[in-house]
Structures are given as C-alpha cells and as structure tokens.
C-alpha cells in the first residue's frame, strides 16, 4: 500500500478544480490500495501514465483534460503530489522540477 504525501495537497487541488474532484478522488483511492514494485507494474494499471524523470510520473485525469504530476519512490512506497492543472497549464511548466505551491 502506498503512502501519499500529502492528501491535503490533493484537497487543495479538488477545491481549485471542482470539475476534477471525482476523477482525482477515484485516482487517490485506487492508487492507495495498489502495490507496485516499479514503473512497469504501475503502467499496467494506469496505461496513460508517463515517466518524465526524477522519479516523476504524469497521470492523465478526466480524459486527459487535466494532468497530475507526482514523484513515486517505489522502494519506500511513497507518492508525493507535485502539481495538478489543466492540460494547457501543464504545457507551461517544467515537469521535471515543478513543485507544489499553496496559493492559499
């Protein structure tokens, strides 16, 4: 079972993007119960996931309307949420270095 750091971050994104709330919650609950030893196992379940460097994985959310960037450390079964936004916003970030910033 994976530990997601931090659920509070996900809740901030759900508040900021209410139309993505259900798909984000579904992703959260699905990934929590999974056991992956490496990216290829994750990819078998989340076919749209892409590895982009620095242990970062990008998930398409809500039919690719949104992107979720996380850092996955398989050895420690930890996922750190780095960024969430629209596909258009995703095109403006450096996915390998973007960090969560609470605007509230």
Which range of residues forms the domain containing residue 51?
3-90
What pTM does this model have? 0.92
Asked if pLDDT for residue 12 goes beyond 90, the answer is yes
Is the peptide bond preceding residue 93 cis, with omega within 30 degrees of 0?
A: no
- CATH number of the domain residue 71 falls in: 3.30.2310
| Residue 85 maps to a domain | yes
70 contact partners, CB below 8 Å, separation of at least 6? 56, 57, 59, 79, 80, 81, 82
pLDDT of residue 83: 95
Domain total in the chain = 1
Residue 23 domain-assigned (yes or no): yes
Q: What is the pLDDT of residue 69?
A: 96
Within-domain flag for 95: no
Residue 43 belongs to some domain of the structure: yes
């Amino acid at each position: 079972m994976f530990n997601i750091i931090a659920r509070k971050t996900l809740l901030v994104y759900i508040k900021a993007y209410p139309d993505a709330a259900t798909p984000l919650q579904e992703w959260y609950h699905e990934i929590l119960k999974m056991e992956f030893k490496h990216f290829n196992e994750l990819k078998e379940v989340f076919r749209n996931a892409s590895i982009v460097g620095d242990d970062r994985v990008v998930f398409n959310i809500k039919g690719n309307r949104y992107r979720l960037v996380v850092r996955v450390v398989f050895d420690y079964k930890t996922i750190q949420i780095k960024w969430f936004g629209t596909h258009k916003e995703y095109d403006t970030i450096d996915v390998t270095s973007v960090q969560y910033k609470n605007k509230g």
